[in-house]
Amino acid sequence: MSAVEELIARSNRLGADPRNTNYAGGNTSAKGTAVDPVTGEDTELLWVKGSGGDLGTLRPAGLAVLRLDRLRALADVYPGVNREDEMVAAFDFCLHGKGGAAPSIDTAMHGLVNAPHVDHLHPDSGIALATAADGEKLTAECFGGRVAWVPWRRPGFQLGLDIAAIAAAHPQAIGVILGGHGITAWGPTSEECEARSLEIIRTAAEFIAARGRPEPFGPVISGYEPLPPAQRHARAAALAPVIRGLACTDRPQVGHYTDTDVVLDFVSRAEHPRLAALGTSCPDHFLRTKVRPMVLDLPPDAPLADVVARLRELHAAYRADYAAYYHRYAGPGSPPMRGADPAIVLVPGVGMFSYGATKQTARVAGEFYVNAISVMRGAEAVSTYAPISEAEKFRIEYWALEEAKLARMPAPKPLATRIALVTGAGSGIGRAIARRLAAEGACVLVADRDADSAAAVASEIGNADAAVPFTADVTDEEQVAAAVAAAALAFGGIDLVVNNAGLSVSKPLLETTVADWDLQHAVMARGSFLVSREAARAMKAQGLGGDIVYICSKNSVVAGPANLAYGAAKADQAHQVRLLAAELGGDGIRVNGINPDGVVRGSGIFAGGWGAQRAAVYGVAEEDLGAYYAQRTLLKREVLPEHVAAAVFALTGGDLSLTTGLHIPVDSGVAAGFLR
Ligand SMILES: NC(=O)c1ccc[n+]([C@@H]2O[C@H](COP(=O)([O-])OP(=O)(O)OC[C@H]3O[C@@H](n4cnc5c(N)ncnc54)[C@H](O)[C@@H]3O)[C@@H](O)[C@H]2O)c1
């Protein structure tokens, strides 16, 4: 195996186990020789995981490749710790050829440590020792001389020099605990380096288990025990939109909810307010979690109204504290404050809500806080948790290099952070809408009465960060409430609803049964009323406005043949658009409709008998129905589900932000369907 192959395999193994490092945390390297194409001679190279990316899924393209002689020569021109950031730009002058990932801040550590293989990781057990008040003493007790201690220093060139010096001074050492931060291990072979990383992680965990006192978080506070699961989820779903509304005060964000045992245990115990206030320590953690979480200080059985009122007070206090922290440490050259809302909100008995610019970042922020809880547990078990100082946290949070990294992020998609619920999304038009909204950046709850088709469409769109399937019959009040609750639990709330579920029976008046009439009105008139009511409730709790879109029909305004029950139900939906636009405008909720016509391809309605009936009514073969509809339009073009989805995006993508109460025909031009 080549050095690169070994490095990738080792990185993937280490990154696959969350006990070894957090998501996208840590980096690995190997040194070796390759022919320099300029001289034809062997040259020493460093392959090191580049900026961004995750060890578990690292590929060769994620490595930065540098000339070791040039990298090490930087020590001779290093201008000192106050100007160490300049060395990151200098890494570009050490690169070997084009391509590869950008070298990260940790490149210096990997290059300067004089060992062929180096791992830098963020294991909870290692960070627990690193953040213990007497971490240096505990490290010596835990490892003897086999692992050395490096006092806290912000990642950078100087930290690389520090570690290299300590490694040189302790030839028997296999690695170091980095105060406040994580671990670094090295070895003569890739295999030995990996074994040593695992040895440090395992030994620290065993030491904490053997030496640690039981219940480091203190006794359970009476009344703060977790609610039973069903009540817990109901409370979480009720609170999610309120908390998301608060967390989006500065900018819109997506939410993630977890009620994992680690969180429920932490927030039930006496020490959690003190520890939460101390904040997270590992830079990787608090860049995502913010320095400290917002913590509700009421028991889970407190009345909902009291909880909401208290959350508002705590949020105002959190923002004031954060602004004070920023102003305490910001200097003339500091980047502007990035927003004062919490990224993590802890609710005793219920769980944790975390927030980010995408579902993935919101979820990872939550995962990092779970790491931070394990770190605090370990540190408190053997000592006292003592994270790095607030001033140091500020230096990292508002570091010019961090700011530059954020500035390099691609511009968000038009519907980024928006949480959509599409009914009847398992087929035809609803499927096309769900796919389009997701492609534009929205998180989508793919709801349908048919579980299999909802699941198929959600998995077509992507993983659970992008789309989640939900089985709900829109005629059922409880199932509709459950769908909106599911959106709140999956993504934090709801911003955009598409009332699309529908079905059609074409019959003349005398053949229309009461059951035909009731079914169509139940699914389309009643169903969209129920969905709009439940969604509006959550949108009002969120206070972020929203969009409700009705997929009505040309038949809501055109008196089509043999179409009484369907046309009347569609007219009902069309008037709901106007009534709700008028009623909900004050809350910033816009309500609009779309009038499609003749969408044959992909439509279950047409495949399920309606097509045959319509074909018979118009006297054409069923397979020619799409072409028939196209020929009777002004534009002579067939209407596809994607055209309807495009209209939903036009209404909700931001360009029509002052439009409400509108119906847009998507029918290739049908004069009888013109609106006035
Ligand atoms: N296809 C057209 O030409 C056309 C024209 C105008 C309006 N529309 C409207 O567009 C919407 C979608 O139609 P389509 O052609 O994509 O049909 P479709 O049959 O392909 O999709 C409708 C979906 O709604 C679901 N559904 C039905 N009843 C439900 C219920 N009670 N609860 C939850 N889900 C339910 C179905 O399972 C199906 O997945 C309907 O409201 C329809 O009236 C369609």
The full 3-state SS of 419-467, as one line of letters, equals EEEECCCCCHHHHHHHHHHHHCCCEEEEEECCHHHHHHHHHHHCCCCCE
Residue 456: closest CA among 471, 437, 440: 471
3-211 against 419-598+639-669: fold identical: no
Inform me whether the pLDDT recorded for 428 exceeds 80. yes
Atom 5 of ligand 1, nearest CA residue: 597
From residue 50, how far is each of 25, 46, 557, 627 by CA, in Å? 11, 11, 59, 55
Q: Is the CB of 501 under 6 A from ligand 1?
A: yes
Q: In this predicted model, what pLDDT tens digit does every residue of 569-615 receive, in sequence order?
A: 999 999 999 999 999 999 999 999 999 999 998 888 888 787 888 88
Instruction: Judge whether residue 198 has pLDDT over 80.
Output: yes
Predicted local distance difference test score (pLDDT) of residue 659? 98
User: Can 566 be counted among the known catalytic residues?
Assistant: yes
Ligand 1 atom nearest the C-alpha of 501 is 24
Domain ranges of the chain: 3-211, 229-407, 419-598+639-669
Q: Is 593 in the pocket of ligand 1 (CB under 6 A)?
A: no
At residue 407, the pLDDT reads 80
Q: Which of 264-268, 308-312, 407-411 has the lowest mean pLDDT?
A: 407-411
Instruction: Specify the CATH architecture of the domain 419-598+639-669.
Output: 3-Layer(aba) Sandwich (3.40)
Atom of ligand 1 nearest to the CA of 566: 43
Residue 416: how many other CB atoms lie within 10 Å: 16
Architecture of the domain delimited by 229-407: 3-Layer(aba) Sandwich (3.40)
pLDDT at res. 23: 86
* Ligand 1 contacts CB of residue 520 (under 6 A): no
Q: Identify the band that residue 51 occupies on the pLDDT scale cut at 50, 70 and 90.
A: confident
pLDDT value of position 401: 80
**Is the Cβ–Cβ distance between 562 and 507 less than 8 Å?**
yes
CB 385, CB 130: distance < 8 Å: no
pTM of the full predicted structure? 0.95
User: So what's the pLDDT on residue 285?
Assistant: 82
pLDDT digits (tens, 9 = 90+) for 432-491: 999 999 999 999 999 999 999 999 999 999 999 999 999 999 999 999 999 999 999 999
Task: Determine which of 174-178, 551-555, 557-561 has the lowest per-residue pLDDT on average.
Answer: 557-561
- For the stretch 341-374, pLDDT in tens is 999 999 999 999 999 999 999 999 999 999 999 9
Ligand 1 atom nearest the C-alpha of 425 is 39
Using the atom order of ligand 1, give the atom closest to the CA of residue 552: 7
Model pLDDT for residues 125-171, shown as the tens digit of each residue: 999 999 999 999 999 999 999 999 999 999 999 999 999 999 999 99
165 CA distance to ligand 1 centroid (A)? 69
CA 500–ligand 1 middle distance (angstroms): 6
Q: Which of 336-340, 616-620, 642-646 has the highest mean pLDDT?
A: 642-646
Whether 427 is in the pocket of ligand 1, judged by its Cβ within 6 Å, is yes
pLDDT of residue 404: 80
Q: Is the CB of 502 under 6 A from ligand 1?
A: yes
Tokens of 601: 């391809």
Calpha distance 309→639 (Å, rounded): 50
HSE of 109, CA atoms in CB hemisphere, 13 A? 29
Q: Specify the CATH superfamily of domain 3-211.
A: Class II aldolase/adducin N-terminal domain (3.40.225.10)
619-662: per-residue pLDDT in tens? 999 888 888 989 999 999 999 999 999 999 999 999 999 999 99
549 Cα to the center of ligand 1, angstroms: 14
Ligand 1, atom 43, residue with closest C-alpha: 502
One-letter amino acid at 441 equals G
Place of tokens 């994607």: 642
Instruction: Specify the 3-state DSSP secondary structure of 675.
Output: coil
Q: How far is the CA of 420 from the centre of ligand 1 (A)?
A: 17
- What is the average pLDDT score of the chain? 95
pLDDT, position 483: 98
Q: To test the ligand 1 pocket, which listed residue (422, 505, 599, 633) has its Cβ within 8 A of the most ligand atoms?
A: 599
Ligand 1 centre distance from Cα of residue 464 (Å): 24
Choose, from 369, 566, 628, 629, the residue flagged as catalytic. Answer: 566
